[in-house]
Structure 1
Amino acid sequence: MAEIVKLNVGGVIYTTSRSTLTKYPNSMLGTMFSGRLPTTKDEHGNYWIDSNGEIFRYVLDFLRHGCLTIPEHFKDFELLEKEADFYQLPELTKAVKTRSCTQCGKQINDTEEKEHLVVKVSTRSYDSYVQIFGANETIRKLQSSLSPYKNGQINDMQCGEKNIVIHKYCQRSLPPAALKLELLNLGFNMCQNVPDEAEPEKTASYWFMKQKSGAAE
């Protein structure tokens, strides 16, 4: 019979099994509930974890089912990725990044007349990056023009129904001003600035748009 475990995560109570918590032995929870890491209990005997209690539901579901289960219009990807890193679950981190990229790709609504591109910028001290979402042809042009800045971390990824290409640069290696200049050179203009709800002062998405060749103004 599975051993039942009660958790107090940031004030939110969860009930699960020890086998679920140790599904990934090298994770933080795996080491905690296999006895390799000290644990703390609250006044009611629940295991205490000082983290985001609301977001933990998605972490726990991932442990239970082995896949990321989130609502269709979920927005807190940055926060969930941060929690995945906190719990030392690289499998969840990867799943969050992939779903975030796919969802952002679906939001890009290109038409016959207009092309859109999204740039996500993070200025967080522990995770500084510039992430670019756009069409294959546009990304290839940017790769060529931004080649002098390739001395930092770069990750390529293809995902989404529209064959969106994501290019990720360490922000220190790719100044946002340089990227904006290259986008202006390609005919893009910034049309929207969307701060992240979780960390509006440190993370934001910038939407760029341009008229396609031959399209009427």
Structure 2
Amino acid sequence: MAEIVKLNVGGVIYTTSRSTLTKYPNSMLGTMFSGRLPTTKDEYGNYWIDGNGDIFRYVLEFLRRGCLMVPDHFQDFEILEKEADFYQLPELIQAVNAIKCKNADTEEGPLQYLVVKTSEFNSRYPCVNIFGPTDELEKLVTSFSQYDAGEVSSNGSKIKFSGYSNYSIPLIAMKVEILNLGFSICQNMNGDIESHDLEQGKVFWFVKK
């Protein structure tokens, strides 16, 4: 049976389970409720967290469901992103910025997106998947040909790039080639693709007007 936990977040009371709070073990909540960080309780026995009580509802739903759900009229993305950083939840920061990119307004027509997803380092064969418009992916395949890129394949909607131990094409060069196509890093996204990101299974969003 799940252990029930009551929280007082900035004066707002929440009820959840310890397993939900520890879903991401390296987050602040994960370390707090696994016993690796000290906790404080209020006078009623609720665990006290000095955070934004109203915004925490979205943090908690993300922990419960694994996805970010906000109403159509939601405008507090900057606050939610800062709270996600406070709780050390990079997965939530990525989800916030993905929605911000999709909601971006433009007078020049629909936006185009490229999504770069690095695999986790589970074997000797790491890989990167790049998703986006077919014509843009074809241009990238051509640009990658100037590198000793190992295996690069495209099925029209995805580029799959793999190599042995380390990528033959530097990830920073991959980023440069994407930017050369006229894409830019989505606002507030961490676009500094470095070698250590391969171990994180990260997602990077690029947008083109």
TM-score, length of structure 1 as denominator length = 0.51
**What number of residue pairs does the alignment pair up?**
123
Instruction: Please give the alpha-carbon distance, in whole angstroms, between the structure 2 residues aligned to 1:98 and 1:169.
Output: 9
1:31 Cα offset (Å): 0.3
Q: 1:110 is matched with which residue? A: 108
Instruction: Please give the alpha-carbon distance, in whole angstroms, between the structure 2 residues aligned to 1:52 and 1:39.
Output: 17
**1:67-86 pair list within 5 angstroms:** 67-86=67-86
Query: Could you tell me whether the CA contact under 8 Å between 1:7 and 1:13 is conserved in 2?
Result: yes
Query: Could you tell me whether the CA contact under 8 Å between 2:97 and 2:187 is conserved in 1?
Result: no
Q: 1:60 is matched with which residue? A: 60
Instruction: Please give the alpha-carbon distance, in whole angstroms, between the structure 2 residues aligned to 1:87 and 1:14.
Output: 16
Query: Could you tell me whether the CA contact under 8 Å between 1:10 and 1:49 is conserved in 2?
Result: yes
109 and 51 in structure 1: CA distance in 2 versus 1, 3 angstrom threshold = same
Query: Could you tell me whether the CA contact under 8 Å between 2:101 and 2:186 is conserved in 1?
Result: no
Mark the runs of 5 or more structure 1 residues left unpaired by the alignment. 116-154, 159-163, 171-217
1:166 Cα offset (Å): 3.6
**1:31-70 pair list within 5 angstroms:** 31-70=31-70
Query: Could you tell me whether the CA contact under 8 Å between 2:97 and 2:186 is conserved in 1?
Result: no
Which has the larger share of strand?
Answer: 1
Which SS does the other structure have where 1:100 is aligned? helix
Mark the runs of 5 or more structure 2 residues left unpaired by the alignment. 111-174, 189-209
Instruction: Please give the alpha-carbon distance, in whole angstroms, between the structure 2 residues aligned to 1:68 and 1:166.
Output: 23
Query: Could you tell me whether the CA contact under 8 Å between 1:3 and 1:19 is conserved in 2?
Result: yes
TM-score, length of structure 2 as denominator length = 0.53
Which SS does the other structure have where 2:8 is aligned? strand
2:185 to 144, 167, 170: 167
1:51 Cα offset (Å): 0.7
Q: 2:24 is matched with which residue? A: 24
1:108 Cα offset (Å): 1.9
Which SS does the other structure have where 2:7 is aligned? strand
1:165 Cα offset (Å): 4.3
Q: 1:118 is matched with which residue? A: none
1:109 Cα offset (Å): 3.6
Which SS does the other structure have where 1:45 is aligned? coil
